[in-house]
Structure formats: structure tokens, C-alpha cells
Structure 1
Amino acid sequence: MRIAYSVETVRAAEAELMARLPEGALMQRAAAGLAAACAGLLGRVYGARVVLLVGSGDNGGDALYAGARLARRGAGVCAVLLAPDRAHQGGLAALLGAGGRVTDDPFEVLADADLVLDGVTGIGGHGGLRPDAVPVIRAARGSNAVVVAVDLPSGVEADTGEVRGEALHADATVTFGTYKPGLLIDPAKEYAGMVRLVGIGLEDHLPSVPDLEALQHADVARLLPVPTGESDKYRRGVVGVVAGSARYPGAAVLAVAGALRGGAGAVRYVGPAADGVIARFPEALVHGGPPAKAGRVQAWVVGPGLGDGIGVVAEVLDSDVPVLVDADGLRLLDAAAVRGRGAPTLLTPHAGEAAALLGVPREEVESARLASVRELASRYGATVLLKGSTTLVAAPDGGRSPVRVNPMGTPWLATAGSGDVLSGLAGSLLAAGLDARDAGSAAAYLHGLAARHAASEGGPITSYEVAEALRSAWGDVQA
């Protein structure tokens, strides 16, 4: 599992560790790891041309000390001081002592650079790059050099993943001690490139509960339900799916497809698309409705392709089992009814639906995804899965549990009906006994991995192909 901590937490841990180390030792650890990572990217250090973009403070100091190490190995290292009077003096002396130099003309050296180290702002920066840094950063990005960010690309927000102005697009980021939220959440994640974590001894000084966590195969495998010799279809859980309409019958088929591959023992479909569901999935149990008359379930999925079924949404929310609400169900949602439920609720909006629920422009949700998912969870008293290029899952516990970040997926997943498959899959995991946070997190991971499997031969994929690939994704995780 990859975990991330806020800037405040990281700085407190660094201060505690520095109090136990000789002065400057922590920065030297960071610089050593940074220089090693740069050497690996260069391949051949001797004779390489390295440019350091140096701001004020410790981030610039890390770049200067790393540059000194590369200079001692034969690289030609040149520093561009964006704040000369506030450059880290110890790092600058080390660079000059190792044969590095300082230039007043950044554009000349950037044009011939093999590697550029971005040490302009780091985790303390806010509001994008300063205007005087923008031309230099653009020149670095426009060069043929490999651009490496020190701890975090300059101009992105470390705690939120927001990009509020001009920022550096790095090819790689070398971060120290722990991941920062902005390295895992879009849009900032897209600026980081390949991320390498360098240990500096911070682990024992960080809290046990991080701000963010990103599951990996082993974490998801531990969550997935596994039938035993005592299992039958009812013990494994029954998920009810209320979806589809005369206009959108395919949404019902796709939601049932996801549900059948989600680990529950049976799927009850309720709605007007029963003929289409049975034609594709004869194992599904179908009922014309209402949901209360369809038979016992351990969880409900309501909303995909539903149309104007506000009464059905209210009836499902009035049940005493976990409920997942998606798509049209979100449009018909009564916030008071959700907050008043005794059983868990999982909401699965995309950015546009989240914006409507919050009463803000879509752009606000897309630029501030972490704040948006936390606000939705708090406002509705529900677990929220915010879909997107990085899917986020937040529980309504006031931040006591980390927000989950899903690292899986592919741009080909942005296709009609993929959310219906995800809803059915997550609902099935709810019925199998996972709590809402785990069900949403595991479903998002499997869904993204299945899309990768479906797209492995290249080219576009369909949502049904994603559903078909869930079996191989499940096996991949458990291998």
C-alpha cells in the first residue's frame, strides 16, 4: 500500500527526526537519494550536462547538494538561482566546491541540458509559480532534457493535488520520506511523471493513520470475498439491482454484468429491462417491482439508466441494507433520507454529478477533487466514490480513516456504461459483506485493472468488455 501525509505532518516528523541527527544529516540523506535517482536516469553521469533550478529554502538545498554529488562524479553541473539572496548557502558552497558553477543566463544552459533538477518551490509552494520563474520553467520543459522534480513538481499543491497556476510538468519526481497527496491525486498527479520514493528514516516518526492511501494488489486481495465449503448462494450474499428504463435498457444489462462478477451469490434484477437481462444472463433473478416485493437482498444498487424513478430511489433508501446510488439515482437523491439511514450508503458520482450534489461548477470539483469528495461524504453522511482519472473514496467519519486513491485504470475507460459496470461490481461486494469504503475501493481497483486487461491489445474498449475482463482482473489480484 502506498500512503501519503500532509505537509504539516511531514514537517513535524522531519523536525522530530532532525532533533536526533547531526545538523544537515537529513538533507544529505535526501540529496544522496536524489543524486542516485538522477544518475540512474542519466545512465552515464560523467560528461552529462545537468542544470539545477534553485529556489529558496530546503528544496533548493536538496537540489544543490545533489548537484554537488553529480559534479564529483564528472557531470557538468550549472545552477540557476531564482532567488540568489536566499539560496541555501551550505548547498551552494558544496556545489561550487565540487566544481559546479552558477549562471546568469538560464536559457543558454537549458538548451543543451541532459537533465534538469526542479528545486524551485517543493512542498511549501502555493498558488502556482511566481511570474519570474515561469519563463525558466517553460524553457526547461521545452528542452530535450529529462526533467526531475525535487519532492514535488513546482507549482502544484502538495496537500490537495490542485494546480492553481503555472506549474512544472516533470518526467519524474523524487520524493522523500513519504508520498504527498498531490503526487497521487489529479490534476497534480499528471505533472509528477514517474514517482520514486526515497527513504530518509522518516517512517517511525509519522502517525499510524495517513491522510491518503492507495491500494495495491495484495491489499485488494485481502478484501475480496472467497467462498468456503460451507458457502451457498445466499450466504455469499444477494445483491438487488434497480436499473434501466425504456430509454436506457443497456444500463440494466451492464450493471447486472458487473454484479454477477462481483462475488455475491446471486443477483436480483428489478425493473423494466428484465427481458434484456435474462437474454444475456439467464442466471439472474428478475422481478417487475417494486423492490420491496422482489425478495430478500443483502445490498441494493439503484440508479443506472433509471430515468425518472424518484419513488423507487426513495423506497430503496428506506431499506435496512447497504445501498449504492449511482447515475439517475443521484439526481433524484434526498440528502435528508441518506443522512437518516441506519445502514451504509455508497454514492458513486462522476465530477458533473458531484458538482450538482454540491451546487458548484464542475470545474471546481475537477480542480479540487480531494476537498470535493470529503465535503460530499460529510454533507450526505455517506461513503463517496468520486469517479475520474484518479478515483477517490471517502468515508463519512470526519477524516478518521484515510481517503482511498485508486491508481488503476486507463483513458479507454472513459466510455459509455463503464460506470454501470462499476456500480454493479461494488454493489455485489457490499452484498458479500464488505463495508462501503472497502467495497468501493476494491471495486474501483478491479474495474480499472479489468479495463487495462481489456485494452491490452490496444485500441478502444466497450463497457461490456470491461465486465468480461473482471474475471481475469480478479485472478490477477489473487495470484
Structure 2
Amino acid sequence: MRTAHRVETVRAAEAALMARLPEGALMQRAAAGLAAACCSLLGKGRVYGARVVLLVGSGDNGGDALYAGARLARRGAGVTAVPLGTRTHPGGLAALRAAGGRITDDPFEALAVADLVLDGITGIGGRGGLRPDAVPVARAARGSGAVVVAVDLPSGVDADTGEVAGEALRADATITFGTYKPGLLVDPAREYAGALRLVDIGLDAVLPGVPDLEALQHQDVAWLLPVPGAESDKYRRGVLGVVAGSARYPGAAVLAVAGALRGGAGAVRYVGPAGDAVIAAHPETLVHAGPPSKAGRVQAWVVGPGLGEDPGPVAEVLAADVPVLVDADGLRGLDPAAVRARTAPTLLTPHAGEAAALLGVAREDVEAGRLAAVRELAARFGATVLLKGSTTLVCGPGGGPVRVNPTGTSWLATAGSGDVLSGLAGSLLAAGLSALDAGSCGAYLHGLAARRASAAGAPVTATDVAGSLRDAWLDVTSPA
């Protein structure tokens, strides 16, 4: 599992670690890892004679860049530093000069011929976009054709929130130290980070056990996914009820059931007016005309995809004493008090537009501040919230770590893909996973399935994604 920590936590951990180490040792560890990563990015045999430009701000990131530049200069690279702050790290500057590097006040000549640019303009404590005087330099770096490497964090993005409030320097790769920062994993800042590489500087020994963000990996998901035992039957494995679809949107029911059948539950009960379409596509489904309370026992419900404007089924399902996933039309006008009054877990799965309506803000506000939005929704509704989008986030109501899904792809921006996800996550709920784990594992498998379906680089449909879920499950659970 990858973890990320807020700036305040990182600063405290760095201070605790520096108290145990000789002066400057922590910065040297970071610089050594940064220089090694730059060598790798330049390619074998290409360091000698490479032209490297350091964009150096006033903070420790500038010092990291200078010390790394000194190491590259000692390996034969031509290194030029461009000071862009009110001061320059004196030790780093001396080390660069001693190694044969040079300093210039004119960045544009050096950038025009650069092979690699180290972005050390601002660090993890920076707020807002780049200062006006740094903007033309950042644009020249981005337009130079050189590989742009961010030191710990791309300059101009917010380390804690992932927000980009002004101009920022987009990196091809980001070399971060000790732990990931939330902004590296959450859009829109994630799009500026490029490929991520974590350098171990010994921070693990002093970081707190509970991070601010978590990103599951294959082994984490494999450990959580349900596996039938020798005594299992279809009912012991869990039964999911799906209340979805309408005369106008029967496909939503078909797609939600498609996801549900591939999510680990033993049986799926469909309740609603699209029974004929569901049976035609998925004959293994148990179909009932409704209402949900008469359909038979279930271990969890999914309600909302394609329902239209009838709120009746939503209220009835929320009254059940089993976990409930609410999606799509089920979220329209949802009453926080009704959700908070439930004793069983609730999982809400809005996209940015639906989240904005629930919060009473503009969609743009949700997309710009996704972490704040998912936390606010979880607190307001007393529910687990899966906020779909370019970065899918899952947040529980108790204020613990937010989970960020690393497997998404832009090809998931297609009609019906959310219906598949709701069925898949609901099935995991019925199989016994917590709302946080069901949402996280569902999003993880959903993203992997979309990647598989779009591997050739062609557009995919929600049906294609559902059809790839079995292979995604096998990818996660099969030994490497």
C-alpha cells in the first residue's frame, strides 16, 4: 500500500529525524536519491556531457537540487543553476561551484539547450501558483523539450490538497522524499507530477502509523476480496439486491447487474421494471417486480442507477437494516438526516456533478478541491463516499485516511460505466466487505478492467468494462 502524509506531518517527522542525524545528512540523502533518479532518466551512458539546468528557489527544495546538481557535475554533466528565490542555499551553492557547475541570471539561454531540468522552485510548503517572475521561466522549461523533473513536488501545486490555484510547472517525473504527498496522488495536481518515484530517506521510522491518504495495490486488494469456503453456498456468499432501471433507462439495470454478478456475491436479486431486459442479458439473475421489501432477503442493496425521478424505492431501501449503496438517480435530493439515521453502513457513489448538487456548490469547486469535497460529503451524510472522476476517492465517515484509486483511466468516461461500478461495489458489500473496502476494491477492479478493455488504445463501452472484470480479478489474485 502506498501512503501519503500532509506537510505538517512531514515537517514534524523530518525535524525528529534530523535531530538524530549529523547536520545536513537528510538533505544529502535526498540529493543522492534525486541524482540517481536523474541519471536513470537521462539513460545509461548519457550523463557525461548532458546539459542540466537547476531552477532553484529559496527553500530546501532548492538545496536538494543544488546538491544533486553537484553530484551530476562530478559525473561529467554540464550543470547550470538559475536562482529564482530571495536567497540561495549557501551549502548547496558552494557544492555546485566546487563540482564545476555554474550560476546564471539568464535562464533562457541555458534552457534552450537543456537535456534535463530540475524544478526546485518551490517546495511542499508553497501555496498558490508560481510567482509572476517564475512563470516565464517555467514556461520556457516546459517548452524546451528537456526532461522536467520535479524535486519532491511540482512547483505551483498544493501538496496537501492537490489543488492548482495558478500557474504550475508540469513535470515529466517527480522524485519525492520519504513519503508521498497527497497532492501527488489527487487531481488536478496529479496530472502535473508525471511518473512518481519515492526516495527512501529514513522517514518511515518517525512517521505516524496513520497516513492521510492510502492507495491500495494488488496485494492489498487480493487480501480483501471474498473467496468461497468449503461450506459456502450462494446464500452464505451473500445476496445483493439491485433496484435500478426504468422504462426509459432499462440499460442501467442490465449494467448494474453485470457488475454485481462479477463482484463476489453468491446471487443477485433484481427489483424493478427492467426484468425482461435483465433476464435476457443475465439469466442467472433472480428477478422480482417489487417492491424491494417483498423481493426476498438480501445482505446489501444497490439503489439508484437509471431509476428516474421516483424517490420511493430509495426511501424503502434506506429503511432496510443492511448495507446500502446509493448511486446516480438515488442521490437526487438525498436527505443527510435519513442517511445519518441508518444503523447499517451506507456507501454513496457520486460523480463531481452529483457531489456538487449534494453540497450546494459548483461542479468546478468539487473538481478543483476533490479531497475537501469527499471529506465534507462523508461528514455531512455520516456515510462512506466514493467520489468518482479523474481521481476516484473513497472516504469513510470517521475521518480516517482517504483512499485514492490508482487504476483509473480516461476511457472510463463513458455512459454506463458508473452503473457497472455500483453493481460491483454493491456485490462486495453483500459478500461482507466494509463500505470503505467495498468501494476501494470495486474502484480498483473497475479501473483495471477498463485498462484491459482499452489496452489497444480504442474506445470501450461499459459492457466491455464489465466483460473484463473477471480478468481484472485474476490479475489481482493470481501469484506473480
TM score, norm. by length of structure 2: 0.99
Pair 1:213–1:451, CA change in 2 (3 A)? same
Give the Cα separation in 2 of the matches to 1:206 and 1:97: 35
1:426-479 CA-partner distances (Å, limit 9, x unpaired): 000000000000000000000000001111122011101111100000011001
Match of 2:23 in 1: 23
CA distance in 2 between partners of 1:381 and 1:309 (Å): 24
Is the Cα–Cα contact under 8 Å of residues 392 and 408 in structure 2 kept in the other structure?
no
1:147 aligns with 2:148: yes
Aligned: 1:190 with 2:164: no
1:219 and 2:220 correspond: yes
Q: Which amino acid in the other structure matches residue 15 of structure 1?
A: A
Tell me, in whole angstroms, the C-alpha distance in 2 between the residues paired with 1:38 and 1:332: 51
- Unaligned runs of 5+ residues in structure 2 are none
Q: Aligned equivalents of 2:358 and 2:122: distance in 1?
A: 35
**Residue aligning to 1:42:** 42
Q: Secondary structure at the match of 1:79?
A: strand
Paired position in structure 2 for 1:78: 80
SS in 2 for 1:51: strand
**Partner residue, 1:32:** 32
- Match for 2:473: what amino acid? W
SS at match of 1:390: coil
* Cα deviations by residue, 1:1-38 (Å, 9 ceiling, x for unpaired): 11000000001000000001110000000000000100
- The answer as to whether partners of 1:298 and 1:321 remain within 8 angstroms in 2 is yes
* Offset, 1:207: 0.5
SS at match of 1:122: coil
- Partner of 1:315, secondary structure, is helix
Q: Which residue of 2 aligns with 1:93?
A: 94
User: Is the contact between residue 333 and residue 358 of structure 2 (CA under 8 Å) also seen in structure 1?
Assistant: no
Aligned to 2:237: 236
**CA–CA distance in 2 between the matches of 1:61 and 1:308?**
59
RMSD between superposed Cα atoms in Å: 0.6
Which residue in 2 is equivalent to 1:207? 208
- C-alpha distance in 1 between matches for 2:367 and 2:409: 18
Other structure's SS at 1:139 match: helix
- Taking the TM superposition and a 5 Å limit, the aligned residue runs for 1:65-464 are 65-83=67-85, 85-397=86-398, 399=399, 401-464=400-463
Aligned identity (percent) is 82
Alignment partners' CA distance in 2, 1:190 and 1:93? 34
Q: 1:70 deviation in Å?
A: 0.5
Contact 1:339 1:380 in 2 (8 A): yes
| Aligned partner letter, 1:78 | T
Q: Whole-Å Cα distance in 2 between the matches of residues 387 and 57 of structure 1?
A: 36
Amino acid at match of 2:450: A
User: 2:24 corresponds to which letter in structure 1?
Assistant: G
Between 40-49 and 240-249, the greater mean CA deviation after superposition: 40-49
1:360-399 Cα shifts (integer Å, max 9, x gaps): 00000000000000000000000000001110000000x2
Stretches of structure 1 lacking an aligned partner (at least 5 in a row) = none
Normalised by the length of structure 1, the TM-score is 0.99
Aligned residue for 2:124, secondary structure, equals helix
TM-superposed CA distance for 1:327, in Å, is 0.2
Whether the aligned pair in 2 keeps the contact of 1:313 and 1:332 (CA below 8 Å) is: no
Q: CA deviation at 1:107?
A: 0.5
SS of corresponding position for 1:123: coil
Cα shift readout 1:248-282 (whole Å, capped 9, x = no counterpart): 00000000000000000000000000000001111
What amino acid maps onto 1:427 in structure 2? G
- Paired amino acid for 2:54: L
- Amino acid across the alignment from 2:403: R
Letter of the 2:439 partner, please give it.
G
Compute the displacement of 1:55 (Å). 0.3
Segments of 4+ moved more than 2 angstroms: none
* Distance in 2 separating the partners of 1:354 and 1:33: 40
Q: CA deviation at 1:332?
A: 3.8
1:468 maps to 2:467: yes
Deviation at 1:334, TM superposition (A): 1.7
Contact 1:239-1:266 within 8 A present in 2 as well: yes
Cα distance in 2, alignment partners of residues 177 and 256 from structure 1: 43
Return the alpha-carbon distance in structure 1 between the equivalents of residues 262 and 33 of structure 2. 44
Shift of 1:424: 0.3
